[in-house]
Amino acid sequence: MEYREYTALSARTSLLGFGCMRLPLREDGTIEREPARALLERARRAGVNYFDTAWNYTGGDSEVFLGEILPTWERESYYVATKLPTFKVETLEDAKAFFEEQLARLKTGYIDFYLLHTLNRDRFRKMAELGVVDWCLDLQRQGRIRRFGFSFHDTYPAFEEILSHHQWDFCQIQLNYLDRDEQAGMKGYELAAAQGVPVVIMEPVKGGLLAALPEDLEEALKAAAPGRSAASWALRWVGALPGVLTVLSGMSTMEQVEDNLATFEAFRPLAAGERALLERIAEQLRGRVNNGCTGCKYCMPCPAGVDIPENFALWNLAAKSRNGSAAWRKWNELMEDAEKAKHCVGCGRCEEVCPQHIAVRADLARAQAELDAVPRPC
């Protein structure tokens, strides 16, 4: 397993981090215990030691589930990262209550990496004004959290403002070879590196989009490196960046775990020719993606019953497919009518919580119209 050592943080983290947002689920939305445990145990045996969760992942069950597993492991053998749900915090007392509940869920005694979750400029200013930032720094002095950072979803100027507030231990940003100019982007990564702030990478395969490329683009990668998955290319692109603390992958199947382990157990940065190939892939892919939904499901459940991520997944599938046959079948034969975009009532709740800042209501209308227009395959 490839590791990154940061003396200032007293940390030696696996370059592959296990994101616990996309674990296998039961029909009721809770985590399917045995399959999920098998995934984490396999990753741990291979040397993965960074496990990332948050208050709201899988409706709160992610922290609870980790609290069933982590206490069975030697405490110094892993790092657990979780996040304060800043979008729910209205007072300092709220923050304190959330933190205590998170410790109770995790049963780890302390939290190795604690983040202010989904920060944008306004949310950060609110946390600072409420005294939450200073309180977290005090928690760190007490040893209840060991390292303090933030996860980010806004524009680069907001990132610059937040990063300059004080010397953060680390930060978490969305970055992949397709999204170099989105949110903090490469410019934000470079600023963090210049200031000596290690970076945790989220969405390295953009919610699975870069793991399931259009057939012609996938063929180009296979021709260059037979036997390597499309996901491995994306992970190697971000993993080779200096100053990266860990690369989070939300693994939900053993196949994904094994593929990622193969990438990081004998990690090899991209060669110049391989990077140039990804540049060409990205350029072609940008014209075949309708919107940037990563399937995080922060917008769910929709009050009107619309399955927002699935509508966008099929819309993007239709855009990137050569003939649209797969999208037609899923849209017309498999998807429940009640879950389709046409049932959106325009309440806007989804847009308030979307970390990608998608114009959800407008895009749902476009998705419905364009998916209805996909011709039936012969």
Q: Average pLDDT per run of 10 along the chain, which is 378 residues long?
A: 94 97 89 96 97 93 96 96 96 97 96 96 96 97 97 93 95 93 92 96 90 89 92 96 96 95 94 94 84 84 90 80 71 86 92 85 86 78
If we measure between CA atoms, which residue out of 139, 92, 87, 145 comes closest to residue 298?
87
Whether the CB-CB separation of 118 and 87 falls below 8 Å is answered with yes
293 vs 33: CA distance, rounded Å: 27
Q: Which pLDDT score, from 0 to 100, does residue 46 have? A: 97
Distance of alpha carbon 228 from the chain centroid: 22
Q: Which pLDDT score, from 0 to 100, does residue 318 have? A: 76
Question: DSSP secondary structure string, 164-184?
Answer: TSS--SEEEEE--SS-TTSTT
Beta strands in the chain (DSSP E): 3-6, 11-14, 16-19, 50-52, 79-84, 111-119, 145-152, 170-174, 199-202, 244-249
Distance of alpha carbon 293 from the chain centroid: 11
Whether the CB-CB separation of 229 and 259 falls below 8 Å is answered with yes
If we measure between CA atoms, which residue out of 213, 160, 146 comes closest to residue 190?
160
280 vs 76: CA distance, rounded Å: 43
Q: Which pLDDT score, from 0 to 100, does residue 375 have? A: 81
What pLDDT, in 10s, does the model give residues 77-128?
999 999 999 999 999 999 999 999 999 999 999 999 999 999 999 999 999 9
Whether the CB-CB separation of 171 and 163 falls below 8 Å is answered with yes
Q: Which pLDDT score, from 0 to 100, does residue 322 have? A: 61
297 vs 359: CA distance, rounded Å: 15
3-state secondary structure of 155: coil
Whether the CB-CB separation of 368 and 342 falls below 8 Å is answered with yes
Whole-model pTM: value is 0.85
Q: Which CATH architecture has domain 3-285?
A: Alpha-Beta Barrel (3.20)
If we measure between CA atoms, which residue out of 43, 57, 37 comes closest to residue 15?
43
What pLDDT, in 10s, does the model give residues 332-344?
878 888 989 899 9
Q: Which pLDDT score, from 0 to 100, does residue 190 have? A: 96
What pLDDT, in 10s, does the model give residues 279-311?
999 998 887 777 878 888 889 989 999 999 888
Q: Which pLDDT score, from 0 to 100, does residue 259 have? A: 95
